[in-house]
Protein backbone atom coordinates (compact mmCIF):
# COMPACT_ATOMS: atom_id res chain seq x y z
CA UNK A 1 0.00 0.00 0.00
CA UNK A 2 1.34 3.40 -0.94
CA UNK A 3 1.09 6.23 1.55
CA UNK A 4 -0.91 9.22 0.39
CA UNK A 5 1.26 12.23 -0.42
CA UNK A 6 1.47 14.54 2.54
CA UNK A 7 -0.87 17.45 2.05
CA UNK A 8 0.69 20.85 2.53
CA UNK A 9 -1.12 22.86 5.18
CA UNK A 10 -2.92 25.70 3.45
CA UNK A 11 -1.71 28.29 5.93
CA UNK A 12 1.89 27.16 5.45
CA UNK A 13 1.39 27.44 1.71
CA UNK A 14 -0.20 30.86 2.15
CA UNK A 15 2.73 32.08 4.23
CA UNK A 16 5.11 31.41 1.37
CA UNK A 17 2.78 32.28 -1.50
CA UNK A 18 0.79 35.24 -0.20
CA UNK A 19 2.92 36.75 2.54
CA UNK A 20 6.32 36.33 0.90
CA UNK A 21 5.40 36.65 -2.77
CA UNK A 22 2.12 38.58 -2.72
CA UNK A 23 0.30 36.03 -4.84
CA UNK A 24 -3.31 35.47 -3.78
CA UNK A 25 -4.66 32.03 -3.02
CA UNK A 26 -6.44 30.15 -5.78
CA UNK A 27 -10.02 28.92 -5.50
CA UNK A 28 -9.16 25.51 -4.08
CA UNK A 29 -6.88 27.06 -1.49
CA UNK A 30 -9.49 29.63 -0.49
CA UNK A 31 -11.97 26.80 0.00
CA UNK A 32 -9.48 25.01 2.24
CA UNK A 33 -9.19 28.16 4.33
CA UNK A 34 -12.97 28.47 4.59
CA UNK A 35 -13.07 24.88 5.83
CA UNK A 36 -10.45 25.33 8.54
CA UNK A 37 -11.58 24.14 11.97
CA UNK A 38 -12.37 26.71 14.64
CA UNK A 39 -9.10 26.05 16.44
CA UNK A 40 -7.16 27.29 13.38
CA UNK A 41 -9.02 30.61 13.10
CA UNK A 42 -6.53 32.45 15.30
CA UNK A 43 -3.65 31.25 13.11
CA UNK A 44 -5.55 32.28 9.98
CA UNK A 45 -6.29 35.76 11.27
CA UNK A 46 -2.73 36.28 12.45
CA UNK A 47 -1.41 35.39 9.00
CA UNK A 48 -4.03 37.51 7.25
CA UNK A 49 -3.02 40.45 9.43
CA UNK A 50 0.63 39.96 8.53
CA UNK A 51 -0.33 39.87 4.85
CA UNK A 52 -2.33 43.06 5.21
CA UNK A 53 0.53 44.86 6.96
CA UNK A 54 3.10 43.59 4.46
CA UNK A 55 1.22 44.45 1.27
CA UNK A 56 -1.09 47.31 2.34
CA UNK A 57 0.64 48.90 5.30
CA UNK A 58 -0.66 49.76 8.75
CA UNK A 59 -3.18 52.47 7.85
CA UNK A 60 -6.92 51.99 7.96
CA UNK A 61 -9.09 53.75 5.39
CA UNK A 62 -12.22 55.24 6.92
CA UNK A 63 -15.33 55.94 4.88
CA UNK A 64 -18.83 57.21 5.36
CA UNK A 65 -21.75 56.41 3.08
CA UNK A 66 -25.13 57.97 2.50
CA UNK A 67 -28.22 57.12 0.54
CA UNK A 68 -29.11 59.90 -1.87
CA UNK A 69 -32.12 58.06 -3.23
CA UNK A 70 -33.66 55.43 -0.99
CA UNK A 71 -36.11 52.68 -1.87
CA UNK A 72 -38.32 52.09 -4.88
CA UNK A 73 -35.64 50.26 -6.84
CA UNK A 74 -37.01 48.25 -9.79
CA UNK A 75 -34.45 45.46 -9.33
CA UNK A 76 -35.10 42.34 -7.28
CA UNK A 77 -31.85 41.83 -5.35
CA UNK A 78 -33.21 39.43 -2.77
CA UNK A 79 -31.16 40.79 0.11
CA UNK A 80 -32.19 44.40 -0.39
CA UNK A 81 -34.85 46.21 1.60
CA UNK A 82 -34.85 48.96 -1.04
CA UNK A 83 -36.28 46.83 -3.81
CA UNK A 84 -39.72 47.99 -4.86
CA UNK A 85 -40.63 44.40 -5.63
CA UNK A 86 -40.81 43.25 -2.01
CA UNK A 87 -43.12 44.30 0.86
CA UNK A 88 -40.29 45.95 2.78
CA UNK A 89 -41.10 48.74 5.26
CA UNK A 90 -38.49 50.97 3.60
CA UNK A 91 -40.22 53.84 1.80
CA UNK A 92 -38.81 55.96 -1.00
CA UNK A 93 -36.92 59.08 -0.02
CA UNK A 94 -34.57 61.59 -1.62
CA UNK A 95 -31.89 63.37 0.34
CA UNK A 96 -31.71 67.05 -0.55
CA UNK A 97 -28.46 68.84 -1.29
CA UNK A 98 -28.12 70.53 2.12
CA UNK A 99 -28.61 67.11 3.72
CA UNK A 100 -25.95 65.62 1.49
CA UNK A 101 -23.52 68.40 2.38
CA UNK A 102 -24.18 67.84 6.08
CA UNK A 103 -23.61 64.11 5.69
CA UNK A 104 -20.31 64.71 3.91
CA UNK A 105 -19.27 67.12 6.65
CA UNK A 106 -20.19 64.61 9.39
CA UNK A 107 -18.09 62.04 7.57
CA UNK A 108 -15.11 64.35 7.12
CA UNK A 109 -15.25 65.28 10.79
CA UNK A 110 -14.61 61.65 11.73
CA UNK A 111 -11.27 61.81 9.92
CA UNK A 112 -12.62 59.77 7.02
CA UNK A 113 -11.06 60.20 3.60
CA UNK A 114 -13.91 58.67 1.61
CA UNK A 115 -17.54 59.64 1.20
CA UNK A 116 -19.71 57.45 -0.96
CA UNK A 117 -22.96 58.70 -2.47
CA UNK A 118 -25.34 55.82 -3.09
CA UNK A 119 -28.64 55.50 -4.92
CA UNK A 120 -31.03 52.55 -5.07
CA UNK A 121 -31.50 52.37 -8.82
CA UNK A 122 -30.86 50.04 -11.73
CA UNK A 123 -28.78 52.82 -13.22
CA UNK A 124 -28.80 56.61 -12.97
CA UNK A 125 -31.14 58.79 -15.00
CA UNK A 126 -30.53 62.44 -15.88
CA UNK A 127 -32.24 63.68 -12.72
CA UNK A 128 -30.07 61.53 -10.47
CA UNK A 129 -26.84 62.45 -12.22
CA UNK A 130 -27.80 66.10 -12.03
CA UNK A 131 -28.40 65.71 -8.29
CA UNK A 132 -25.01 64.03 -7.88
CA UNK A 133 -23.31 66.79 -9.86
CA UNK A 134 -24.97 69.51 -7.78
CA UNK A 135 -24.18 67.58 -4.62
CA UNK A 136 -20.48 67.26 -5.38
CA UNK A 137 -20.30 70.97 -6.23
CA UNK A 138 -22.02 71.86 -2.97
CA UNK A 139 -19.74 69.60 -0.92
CA UNK A 140 -16.71 71.32 -2.45
CA UNK A 141 -18.27 74.75 -1.91
CA UNK A 142 -18.58 73.79 1.75
CA UNK A 143 -14.78 73.54 1.87
CA UNK A 144 -14.83 69.78 2.15
CA UNK A 145 -12.01 68.08 0.26
CA UNK A 146 -13.01 64.50 1.12
CA UNK A 147 -12.65 62.01 -1.72
CA UNK A 148 -16.01 61.30 -3.30
CA UNK A 149 -17.11 57.91 -4.51
CA UNK A 150 -20.42 56.98 -6.07
CA UNK A 151 -22.60 53.90 -6.26
CA UNK A 152 -25.41 54.44 -8.73
CA UNK A 153 -25.96 51.05 -10.30
CA UNK A 154 -25.14 50.03 -13.83
CA UNK A 155 -23.67 52.69 -16.09
CA UNK A 156 -23.38 53.49 -19.76
CA UNK A 157 -20.05 54.66 -21.13
CA UNK A 158 -21.44 58.20 -21.33
CA UNK A 159 -22.39 58.09 -17.65
CA UNK A 160 -18.98 56.74 -16.69
CA UNK A 161 -17.34 59.64 -18.51
CA UNK A 162 -19.69 62.10 -16.82
CA UNK A 163 -18.82 60.80 -13.36
CA UNK A 164 -15.10 61.09 -14.09
CA UNK A 165 -15.65 64.66 -15.20
CA UNK A 166 -17.57 65.41 -11.97
CA UNK A 167 -14.58 64.30 -9.92
CA UNK A 168 -15.84 60.93 -8.71
CA UNK A 169 -12.60 59.11 -7.96
CA UNK A 170 -13.96 55.66 -7.06
CA UNK A 171 -17.05 53.78 -8.18
CA UNK A 172 -18.75 51.08 -6.16
CA UNK A 173 -20.64 48.35 -7.92
CA UNK A 174 -20.79 45.06 -6.07
CA UNK A 175 -20.86 41.72 -7.83
CA UNK A 176 -22.54 40.64 -4.57
CA UNK A 177 -21.82 36.90 -4.81
CA UNK A 178 -20.26 34.18 -6.93
CA UNK A 179 -21.20 34.14 -10.57
CA UNK A 180 -22.71 30.68 -10.13
CA UNK A 181 -24.93 31.89 -7.27
CA UNK A 182 -25.92 35.27 -8.68
CA UNK A 183 -29.04 34.05 -10.56
CA UNK A 184 -30.45 32.86 -7.22
CA UNK A 185 -29.99 36.32 -5.76
CA UNK A 186 -30.95 38.64 -8.62
CA UNK A 187 -33.10 37.87 -11.66
CA UNK A 188 -33.64 41.34 -13.14
CA UNK A 189 -30.09 41.73 -14.41
CA UNK A 190 -27.04 39.58 -14.77
CA UNK A 191 -23.64 39.24 -13.16
CA UNK A 192 -22.16 39.97 -16.58
CA UNK A 193 -23.98 43.30 -16.83
CA UNK A 194 -22.42 44.31 -13.54
CA UNK A 195 -19.02 43.16 -14.76
CA UNK A 196 -19.40 45.35 -17.87
CA UNK A 197 -19.93 48.44 -15.73
CA UNK A 198 -16.87 47.60 -13.65
CA UNK A 199 -14.77 47.19 -16.79
CA UNK A 200 -15.84 50.60 -18.07
CA UNK A 201 -15.16 52.20 -14.71
CA UNK A 202 -11.63 50.82 -14.63
CA UNK A 203 -10.89 51.78 -18.23
CA UNK A 204 -12.07 55.33 -17.51
CA UNK A 205 -9.51 55.67 -14.73
CA UNK A 206 -11.78 55.56 -11.71
CA UNK A 207 -10.85 53.29 -8.84
CA UNK A 208 -12.95 50.13 -8.73
CA UNK A 209 -14.78 49.24 -5.53
CA UNK A 210 -16.45 45.87 -5.77
CA UNK A 211 -17.47 43.44 -3.08
CA UNK A 212 -20.47 41.58 -1.90
CA UNK A 213 -22.43 39.95 0.84
CA UNK A 214 -21.60 36.81 2.76
CA UNK A 215 -24.47 34.65 3.96
CA UNK A 216 -26.95 34.65 1.08
CA UNK A 217 -27.23 30.87 0.89
CA UNK A 218 -24.02 30.37 -1.04
CA UNK A 219 -21.96 27.26 -0.38
CA UNK A 220 -18.42 27.53 0.93
CA UNK A 221 -17.26 26.55 -2.56
CA UNK A 222 -19.22 29.47 -3.98
CA UNK A 223 -17.75 31.75 -1.34
CA UNK A 224 -14.31 30.67 -2.53
CA UNK A 225 -15.38 31.11 -6.14
CA UNK A 226 -16.48 34.65 -5.36
CA UNK A 227 -13.18 35.54 -3.70
CA UNK A 228 -11.13 34.53 -6.73
CA UNK A 229 -13.58 36.14 -9.15
CA UNK A 230 -13.10 39.38 -7.25
CA UNK A 231 -9.34 38.87 -7.34
CA UNK A 232 -9.46 38.47 -11.11
CA UNK A 233 -11.12 41.88 -11.31
CA UNK A 234 -8.20 43.41 -9.37
CA UNK A 235 -10.40 45.91 -7.54
CA UNK A 236 -8.90 48.73 -5.55
CA UNK A 237 -11.37 48.04 -2.77
CA UNK A 238 -13.55 45.12 -1.68
CA UNK A 239 -16.31 45.91 0.80
CA UNK A 240 -17.25 42.79 2.72
CA UNK A 241 -20.82 42.76 3.96
CA UNK A 242 -22.60 40.15 6.06
CA UNK A 243 -26.26 39.58 5.37
CA UNK A 244 -28.70 41.58 7.43
CA UNK A 245 -31.96 39.63 7.10
CA UNK A 246 -34.27 42.56 6.53
CA UNK A 247 -38.04 42.28 6.93
CA UNK A 248 -40.02 41.88 3.75
CA UNK A 249 -37.10 40.65 1.67
CA UNK A 250 -36.91 37.05 0.44
CA UNK A 251 -33.98 36.59 2.84
CA UNK A 252 -35.73 37.91 5.94
CA UNK A 253 -35.56 34.52 7.65
CA UNK A 254 -32.01 33.67 6.67
CA UNK A 255 -29.74 33.15 9.65
CA UNK A 256 -27.16 35.75 10.57
CA UNK A 257 -23.67 34.58 9.60
CA UNK A 258 -21.97 32.97 12.59
CA UNK A 259 -18.94 34.84 13.92
CA UNK A 260 -16.41 32.05 13.24
CA UNK A 261 -17.64 31.66 9.65
CA UNK A 262 -17.42 35.39 9.14
CA UNK A 263 -13.88 35.48 10.51
CA UNK A 264 -12.88 32.64 8.20
CA UNK A 265 -14.31 34.66 5.32
CA UNK A 266 -12.36 37.76 6.36
CA UNK A 267 -9.10 35.82 6.52
CA UNK A 268 -9.79 33.94 3.30
CA UNK A 269 -10.64 37.07 1.33
CA UNK A 270 -7.48 38.76 2.56
CA UNK A 271 -5.40 35.78 1.47
CA UNK A 272 -7.08 35.86 -1.95
CA UNK A 273 -6.65 39.64 -2.25
CA UNK A 274 -3.38 40.56 -0.56
CA UNK A 275 -3.05 44.06 -1.99
CA UNK A 276 -6.68 45.20 -1.97
CA UNK A 277 -8.36 47.55 0.46
CA UNK A 278 -10.61 45.12 2.35
CA UNK A 279 -13.40 46.99 4.04
CA UNK A 280 -15.66 45.97 6.89
CA UNK A 281 -19.11 47.01 5.70
CA UNK A 282 -22.71 46.25 6.59
CA UNK A 283 -23.80 43.50 8.92
CA UNK A 284 -20.71 43.33 11.07
CA UNK A 285 -22.62 44.63 14.09
CA UNK A 286 -25.07 41.70 14.03
CA UNK A 287 -22.50 39.10 13.05
CA UNK A 288 -19.57 40.05 15.22
CA UNK A 289 -20.55 42.37 18.01
CA UNK A 290 -17.74 44.42 19.51
CA UNK A 291 -15.20 41.69 20.16
CA UNK A 292 -15.44 40.17 16.70
CA UNK A 293 -14.95 43.56 15.06
CA UNK A 294 -11.56 43.80 16.73
CA UNK A 295 -10.70 40.27 15.62
CA UNK A 296 -11.58 41.22 12.06
CA UNK A 297 -9.44 44.34 12.20
CA UNK A 298 -6.60 42.11 13.37
CA UNK A 299 -7.41 39.54 10.71
CA UNK A 300 -6.83 41.28 7.41
CA UNK A 301 -9.33 44.14 7.31
CA UNK A 302 -7.79 47.54 6.56
CA UNK A 303 -10.82 49.76 6.00
CA UNK A 304 -14.14 50.41 7.66
CA UNK A 305 -17.39 52.20 7.08
CA UNK A 306 -18.04 54.36 10.10
CA UNK A 307 -21.38 55.57 11.30
CA UNK A 308 -24.63 54.47 9.73
CA UNK A 309 -25.22 52.62 6.49
CA UNK A 310 -27.86 53.27 3.85
CA UNK A 311 -30.99 52.08 5.62
CA UNK A 312 -29.50 50.35 8.65
CA UNK A 313 -27.62 51.84 11.57
CA UNK A 314 -24.00 51.20 12.42
CA UNK A 315 -22.07 51.74 15.59
CA UNK A 316 -21.40 55.37 16.50
CA UNK A 317 -18.37 56.50 14.50
CA UNK A 318 -16.48 57.40 17.66
CA UNK A 319 -16.76 53.82 18.89
CA UNK A 320 -14.95 52.56 15.80
CA UNK A 321 -12.39 55.35 15.95
CA UNK A 322 -11.72 54.45 19.59
CA UNK A 323 -11.31 50.84 18.55
CA UNK A 324 -8.66 51.85 16.00
CA UNK A 325 -6.88 53.85 18.68
CA UNK A 326 -6.98 50.85 21.02
CA UNK A 327 -5.55 48.69 18.27
CA UNK A 328 -2.87 51.28 17.54
CA UNK A 329 -3.98 51.46 13.92
CA UNK A 330 -3.43 54.82 12.21
CA UNK A 331 -6.21 56.27 10.07
CA UNK A 332 -5.17 56.91 6.50
CA UNK A 333 -4.81 60.64 5.97
CA UNK A 334 -6.30 62.46 3.04
CA UNK A 335 -2.84 63.53 1.87
CA UNK A 336 -1.93 59.87 1.38
CA UNK A 337 -4.82 59.31 -0.98
CA UNK A 338 -4.25 62.26 -3.29
Partner 1 sequence: MSVVSAKFCQFCGKSSDEGDHAACQRRLSMIDPPRYCAECARRMVVQVTPGGWTARCSRHGEITSAR
- Half-sphere exposure of residue 258: CA atoms within 13 angstroms, side-chain side: 5
Cα–Cα distance list, 67 to 96, 261, 308, 334 (Å): 11, 29, 10, 23
Which is closer to partner 1, CB of 24 or CB of 307?
307
| Geometric angle at alpha carbon 321, from 332 and 33, rounded to 5° | 75
Q: Which of 19, 114, 309, 331 binds partner 1 (CB under 8 A)?
A: 309
Q: Name the DSSP letter for residue 76.
A: -
Rounded to 10 degrees, the C-alpha dihedral 129/130/134/139 comes to -10
Q: Which of 60, 148, 233, 244 binds partner 1 (CB under 8 A)?
A: 244
Cα–Cα distance list, 120 to 81, 150, 169 (Å): 10, 12, 20
Q: Which of 31, 33, 34, 103 binds partner 1 (CB under 8 A)?
A: 103
Contact between 223 and 181 (Cβ < 8 Å): no
Concatenating the DSSP letter of every residue in 93-108 gives EE--HHHHHHHHHHHH
Q: Rounded distance, CA 132 to CA 114, Å?
A: 16
Which is closer to partner 1, CB of 67 or CB of 159?
67
CB of residue 186 to partner 1, shortest distance in Å: 23
Which of the stretches 99-107, 125-133, 156-164, 194-202 binds partner 1 when contact is defined by CB under 8 A? 99-107
Q: Does 113 bind partner 1 (CB under 8 A)?
A: no
Q: Is the dihedral of CA 52, 54, 59, 63 positive or negative?
A: negative
CB of residue 281 to partner 1, shortest distance in Å: 13
Q: Rounded distance, CA 81 to CA 227, Å?
A: 25
Which is closer to partner 1, CB of 95 or CB of 185?
95
Residue 279 annotated as binding?
yes
Q: Interaction with partner 1 in 17-56: which residues (CB under 8 A)?
A: none
Residue 150 annotated as binding?
no
Q: Which of 8, 23, 93, 327 binds partner 1 (CB under 8 A)?
A: 93
Residue 80 annotated as binding?
yes
Q: Rounded distance, CA 267 to CA 301, Å?
A: 8
Which is closer to partner 1, CB of 21 or CB of 91?
91
Cα–Cα distance list, 300 to 45, 91, 104 (Å): 7, 36, 27
Q: Interaction with partner 1 in 68-87: which residues (CB under 8 A)?
A: 70
Q: Which of 310, 321, 324, 329 binds partner 1 (CB under 8 A)?
A: 310
Which of the stretches 33-41, 93-101, 146-154, 162-170 binds partner 1 when contact is defined by CB under 8 A? 93-101
Which is closer to partner 1, CB of 102 or CB of 189?
102
Residue 56 annotated as binding?
no
Which is closer to partner 1, CB of 82 or CB of 177?
82
Q: Interaction with partner 1 in 245-304: which residues (CB under 8 A)?
A: 247, 285-286
Question: 323: closest CA among 298, 294, 284?
Answer: 294
Instruction: Count the neighbouring beta carbons within 10 Å of the beta carbon of residue 116.
Output: 23
Residue 116 annotated as binding?
yes
Q: Which of 207, 209, 311, 321 binds partner 1 (CB under 8 A)?
A: 311
Binding site for partner 1 (CB under 8 A): 64-67, 70, 89-93, 95, 99, 102-103, 106-107, 110, 244, 247, 285-286, 306-314, 317
Binding residues for [4Fe-4S] cluster: 73, 77, 80
Amino acid sequence: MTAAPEQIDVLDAAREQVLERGVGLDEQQVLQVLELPDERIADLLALAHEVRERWCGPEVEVEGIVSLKTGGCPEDCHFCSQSGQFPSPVRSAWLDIPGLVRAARQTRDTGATEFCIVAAVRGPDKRLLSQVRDGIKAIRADGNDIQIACSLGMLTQEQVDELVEMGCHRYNHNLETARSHFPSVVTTHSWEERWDTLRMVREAGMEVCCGGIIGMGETLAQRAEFAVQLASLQPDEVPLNFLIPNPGTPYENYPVVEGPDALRAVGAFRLALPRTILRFAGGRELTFGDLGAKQGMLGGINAIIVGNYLTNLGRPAQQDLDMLTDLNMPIKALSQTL
